[in-house]
Structure 1
Amino acid sequence: MNIAITSCGREKDSQPDMSFGRAKWFIFYDEDTGRFEARENSDNVEAAHGAGIQAAQRVADFGADVVLTGNIGPNAFRTLKAAGIRIFLFGKDRKSVAEVLQGWKAGEFSEAAGATNKGHRA
């Protein structure tokens, strides 16, 4: 299973990013191989609109099965769900991507039933 985690940096000890569409980085973790890979999301950090959809498409293109994030807008939620990607939410109490991954492995996160914010309106 390939897991995408929203991150403020490119390392597993980086702070998790509470935003999905405007996250600075996605850290991908392959549960089968134990491999980590960082993918930049800089195109969407300052986007006027469409950041959630573009980020969701990028995550899908990179082969994610699951997304771990703090918040997600309605367009990103719909795009990920349409791609068959499950979304789980972590809280602000997580201090690193590695800690988020530990929480995932321990089954501590709830699957998102819908968007957690209204998204960006231009």
Structure 2
Amino acid sequence: MMKIAVTSQGRELDSPVDPRFGRAAYILIVDSDTWSFDVLDNKANVNSLKGAGIQAAANIHSKGAEVLLTGFCGPNAFKTLTAGGIKVANDASGTIREAVRSFLDGKLTFADQANVEGNW
């Protein structure tokens, strides 16, 4: 079993992936075996001036996520995630369900660096 965090525009597995990490509306933590999931409401970070990615990274780390699927991850968030042992796969798209399936099928690769400048 693996806990997979996915940035989301909604609260369901069929919601679209939110391309933003720190400012995503929600982050779903999906169990790779059962497909059960927890919803993290990320509203507090959506309008923050800075530090949104770092706070979102701390939140998913506290939920035990091992992997993050997102569209774009800035440098500070990327450092925080990797320091916490969370691997990042950027360029996730489609629905949450499709992104997780793509990851489990080996179609998404782990990033070795941020793919967007900070405060995106």
TM-score by length of 1: 0.92
Structure 1: 4+ residue segments shifted above 3 A? none
Given that 2:26 and 2:41 are in contact with CA atoms closer than 8 Å, whether structure 1 keeps it comes out as yes
5+ long unaligned stretches in structure 2: none
Given that 1:90 and 1:100 are in contact with CA atoms closer than 8 Å, whether structure 2 keeps it comes out as no
Match of 1:120 in 2: 119
Partner SS for 1:112: coil
Give 1:42 shift.
Answer: 0.5
* Inter-partner Cα distance in structure 2 for 1:82 and 1:64: 13
Match of 1:86 in 2: 87
* Inter-partner Cα distance in structure 1 for 2:34 and 2:12: 17
Match of 1:45 in 2: 46
Give 1:110 shift.
Answer: 1.4
Give 1:75 shift.
Answer: 0.5
Give 1:32 shift.
Answer: 3.7
TM-score by length of 2: 0.93
Give 1:31 shift.
Answer: 1.9
What is the 5 A alignment of 1:19-34? 19-34=20-35
Match of 1:18 in 2: 19
Give 1:90 shift.
Answer: 2.7
Given that 2:5 and 2:69 are in contact with CA atoms closer than 8 Å, whether structure 1 keeps it comes out as yes
- How much identity, in percent, do the aligned residues show? 42
5+ long unaligned stretches in structure 1: none
Tell me how many residue pairs correspond in the alignment.
119
Match of 1:104 in 2: 103
1:95 aligns with 2:94: yes
How large is the RMSD of aligned CA atoms in angstroms? Answer: 1.3
Match of 2:71 in 1: 70
Partner SS for 1:110: coil
